[in-house]
Amino acid sequence: MVHEHAPRGAQGTAGEVVVRVSGVGKDFVLRHTRSLKEALVWLVRGRKGDLANHFHALDDVTFDIHHGETVALMGLNGSGKSTTLKLISGVMRPDRGSVGVRGRIAGLIEVGAGFHPDLPGRDNVYLNGAILGMTHEEIDARFDDILAFSEIGEFIDTEVKFYSSGMYLRLAFAVAVHTDPDVFLVDEILAVGDEPFQRKCIGRIKELVARGKTLVVVSHDLDLVQQICERGIVMESGRVVFDGPCREAVTFLRERNR
Ligand SMILES: Nc1ncnc2c1ncn2[C@@H]1O[C@H](COP(=O)(O)OP(=O)(O)OP(=O)(O)O)[C@@H](O)[C@H]1O
């Protein structure tokens, strides 16, 4: 049984469902600039209808992810991958359907989203670590490893508003991988890091996978996802159009968008 964003501590066993996305829909509002005439007509008609257009960013999305699975979400720009990841991470709620998660989730979704710009890197490690569910003592114990992984060096005491996007990524990634998550979510962001750091991150992700962690990745790098993931879910206009072995998903996507 999966609970809606059940708290940490659930050490799943192989085959157990850890993420359940069930009939999920998410709408966004398309804001158009309306002319004064259009607004007046709308008023005169008694405010019938909506001045704004809603569109389905996700429509009836359903899939289960089992403990230890490595899943790539693929699809063209705007197909709904990141929105799906945000719903799993809990930063966004579905308008229809439900999303259930078991275990501790660590997401690298928006680089440094949990960072406070006016605080130095060091304080942000504690802030971000706490957001990701670590206690102060746990962060203390892992601080040196986090710092070493990030290669931020003496900049750790600089306010993060002065960091480059690559430095942000390094610190955010370092914190996330040291939270020992049950389910690890990674959005395209690896693209921000330089090549050596990317290699290191990929190595770390493979290590997590080898240790049986569940992984959900959003990426346009189809060669990379084939290296890491066994399963591929292809999205198109907010719907799942393929769900199966990663290699087949890549072929499906390439054929479809030829
Ligand atoms: N906060 C938001 N407000 C309004 N529209 C949004 C919001 N977030 C996403 N969208 C829209 O929802 C759709 C799906 O976006 P999403 O970011 O999930 O796509 P994606 O598959 O991750 O795309 P990409 O490959 O470009 O990253 C897009 O049309 C996008 O413009």
pLDDT values of the chain reduced to their tens digit, one per residue, 258 residues:
344 554 434 455 667 999 999 999 999 987 666 677 777 777 787 776 665 677 899 999 999 999 999 999 999 999 999 999 999 988 889 999 999 999 888 777 665 567 899 999 999 999 988 887 889 999 999 999 999 999 999 999 999 999 988 888 889 888 888 887 889 888 875 666 788 888 888 888 888 889 888 999 998 889 889 988 999 999 999 999 999 999 999 999 999 988
Q: How far is the CA of 28 from the centre of ligand 1 (A)?
A: 9
Residue nearest to atom 18 of ligand 1 (CA): 80
Question: Which pLDDT belongs to residue 197?
Answer: 87
Q: Among 128, 136, 132, which residue's Cα sits nearest to residue 172?
A: 128
Question: Which pLDDT belongs to residue 7?
Answer: 42
Question: Which pLDDT belongs to residue 226?
Answer: 92
Question: Which pLDDT belongs to residue 96?
Answer: 97
Question: Which pLDDT belongs to residue 151?
Answer: 93
The domains located in the chain, with CATH, are 69-95+103-256 (3.40.50.300)
Instruction: Assess whether the C-beta atom of 129 lies below 6 angstroms from ligand 1.
Output: no
Residue nearest to atom 30 of ligand 1 (CA): 78
Question: Which pLDDT belongs to residue 34?
Answer: 67
Q: Among 88, 27, 58, 61, which residue's Cα sits nearest to residue 218?
A: 88
Ligand 1: nearest atom to the Cα of 84: 18
Q: Among 98, 96, 128, 126, which residue's Cα sits nearest to residue 113?
A: 128
- pTM for this model (two decimals): 0.82
Instruction: Assess whether the C-beta atom of 80 lies below 6 angstroms from ligand 1.
Output: yes
Q: How far is the CA of 220 from the centre of ligand 1 (A)?
A: 15
Instruction: Assess whether the C-beta atom of 170 lies below 6 angstroms from ligand 1.
Output: no
CB burial string 170-194: b at 16+ within 10 A, e below = bbbbbbbbbbbbbbbbbbbbbebbe
Question: Which pLDDT belongs to residue 46?
Answer: 75
Question: Which pLDDT belongs to residue 246?
Answer: 97
Question: Which pLDDT belongs to residue 20?
Answer: 97
Residue nearest to atom 1 of ligand 1 (CA): 28
3-state SS, residue 36: helix
Interface ipTM > 0.90: yes
Which of 61, 77, 190 is the pocket-test mutation for ligand 1 (most atoms within 8 Å of CB)? Answer: 77
Question: Which pLDDT belongs to residue 224?
Answer: 87
